[in-house]
Amino acid sequence: MVAAGRPKMGEEKLIIRSEKVRFIDILSLLFLRRPLTSYAFVDAGDQTVLDAGNTPGDIFVALTEIIQKALAAAYWPARIIGAAIEILLNFFALNGGLLGIIWNIFRCRLVIPLNREAPNFRTMIGMIDGRTELKPAPPQMAAGDIRQLQVLDVVVSGEIADLESGCRRAAEAEPLVLRQYLVLEVTAMAAKLAYENAAYIENVVKNVWKFNFVGFFNGWNKYLNLDGTQAFVITDKAEDANVVILAFRGTEPFNMQDWSTDVNLSWIGMGRMGFVHAGFLKALGLQEEDGKSIERAFPKDVPNGATPAGKHLAYYQLRDTLREELKKHPNARLVVTGHSLGGALAVVFPALLALYDEKDVVGRIGAVQTFGQPRVGNETFVNFFKAEVEAKQNGTVPVPFHRVVYRYDIVPRVPFDLAKLAEFRHGGTCVYYDGWYDGKVLAGDAPNPNYFDPRFVLSMYGNAIGDLVKGAFLWAKAGKDYREGAVSLLYRASGLLVPGLASHSPRDYVNSVRLGRIEPKQV
């Protein structure tokens, strides 16, 4: 990958066609040490070939392709088994358990949850953590307890959040405290809620949160030939809102295509925006895998005939919706959030807005808050985002971009960071939670950045055991809202097989926001 500021001489892209990778290619990557760009399954731009030179595909490239093969093989079994599990769990939940099923059979009122779009149907994520109510701001805020809000310097209202002095003036500071609270509590809950269907989300937003539901959106992905990108938009009030919130859906547990996207090493050059993960660009509306012409790859406006009739590209549909909402609510700030894959889209989306100088939207961003987010681009992208999104808000203070990472969550550690080939970097401020939600603001990346460092094996398995124990007994310390059911505990047990997998649960990210305390920045 080209260093920041280096002149662009030609096409810049590295597309790995995993479906073309053979077993013998994986052996070659491990033992023959041929230049990666020389393989038939690699589509590299001319400039990329020059930059990479003789850099061989190392063990992380081979490991990525082994993972991709495993995910491809598991696609249909996971989809079928996942659908069956979710229907079975909803069957028990909607009928009130085994005794409820027997009673409903007797009454001829048995509920058969075959409609996955029903407002009472929950996904696996919703079964792991069924909480929907927003937790009120802690009472200690009024007493001046700083906690996370001051440490993170959350900015939504266009001025530095001084929680301590604001809380001393509780009545006057109410809008400011509200905005800070929305950034932390609502983003975590919205990122979790985004996994559910449109009717479920609308019901929770309107009837539980008492917010204004703007819409649920499906984005067309021409490379997958389906609506593969989901997001929703809400405001805290129907009139004169303080905040407009955009939440992207993340990596679905049984969708192997989502997991494959997270791990994929492919990237595309996007000019001054830097190199961006190809899969995340495709999710938002990429038209051509072209590392030379941004206009062909991702046009400023939606091209004619880009989608089948009735379908929409996520970037353009969401951009236009946000334009209208921000025009309707002149005092509101935009907050963008997402968990996992949704977190990646929550970063790439504002960057595209900035690339095309969409000041009416990007200029109103108040915060970008992601949870368990994978890497999305190279150092040039990180610097572009910092200069064009975080630092340019109509002359106001910088926009906070916080990446929340829990323990050894596997997803923030992919795609792997590989010298000269796929130099993926994280941006923003890393807020790292460990133990009983002990938080640290890190100056760099989270520990074990490429996940497979053998020095962390014992610690990772120790964390998995600790989380399983914590999940079983946290309610005794924190209260009934933190009692976990069998589904959540079984999911935590998966961390004993693949450490870091269970740490990706949105449940722990919600708990981190609600229970965590953060120490000063660590060097």
pLDDT in tens, 395-421: 566 788 999 999 999 999 999 998 889
The pLDDT, as a whole number, for residue 137 is 61
Region 39-54: mean pLDDT is: 93
The pLDDT, as a whole number, for residue 275 is 95
Please provide the distance, in angstroms rounded to a whole number, between the alpha carbons at the two ends of the chain.
27
* Structural domains of the chain, ranges and CATH numbers in brackets: 13-522 (3.40.50.1820)
Region 501-505: mean pLDDT is: 95
**Amino acid identity for residue 228 in this structure:** G
Region 63-76: mean pLDDT is: 96
| Residue 520 confidence (pLDDT) above 80 | no
Catalytic, out of 25, 262, 409, 445: 409
* Whole-number Å distance between alpha carbons of 100 and 96: 5
Q: Which residues contact 397 (CB under 8 A, 6 or more apart)?
A: 155, 158, 159, 160
| Residue 156 confidence (pLDDT) above 60 | no
Q: What digits encode the pLDDT tens for the residues 108-130? A: 999 999 999 999 999 999 999 99
Q: Which residues contact 340 (CB under 8 A, 6 or more apart)?
A: 250, 251, 258, 262, 371, 372, 373, 374, 411, 504
Catalytic, out of 157, 260, 266, 340: 340
Provide the pairing of β-strand 275-277 with 333-339: unpaired
Cβ count near 165 (within 10 Å): 10
Catalytic, out of 18, 503, 504, 508: 504
Q: Which residues contact 469 (CB under 8 A, 6 or more apart)?
A: none
CB 476 within 8 A of CB 186: no
Question: What DSSP character marks residue 340?
Answer: T
312 part of the active site: no
Among 327, 400, 391, 322, residue whose Cα is nearest residue 354: 391
Cis amide bond preceding 175, omega within 30 = no
The pLDDT, as a whole number, for residue 466 is 95
The pLDDT, as a whole number, for residue 292 is 79
Q: What digits encode the pLDDT tens for the residues 367-394? A: 999 999 999 999 999 999 999 999 866 6
Among 436, 470, 463, residue whose Cα is nearest residue 448: 463
| Residue 288 confidence (pLDDT) above 50 | yes
Tally the C-alpha atoms within 13 A of residue 132's C-alpha that lie toward its C-beta. Answer: 20
Helices and strands, counts by H and E, the chain: 20, 13
CB 288 within 8 A of CB 257: no
Name the range with the highest mean pLDDT among 148-162, 165-179, 237-251, 430-444.
237-251
| Residue 211 confidence (pLDDT) above 50 | yes
| Residue 162 confidence (pLDDT) above 90 | no
409 part of the active site: yes
CB 128 within 8 A of CB 505: yes
Q: Which residues contact 183 (CB under 8 A, 6 or more apart)?
A: 154, 156, 335, 366, 367, 369
Among 268, 319, 298, 119, residue whose Cα is nearest residue 205: 119
* Whole-number Å distance between alpha carbons of 266 and 19: 13
The pLDDT, as a whole number, for residue 273 is 95
Which sign does the torsion angle of CA 341, 252, 338, 125 carry? negative
| Residue 96 confidence (pLDDT) above 60 | yes
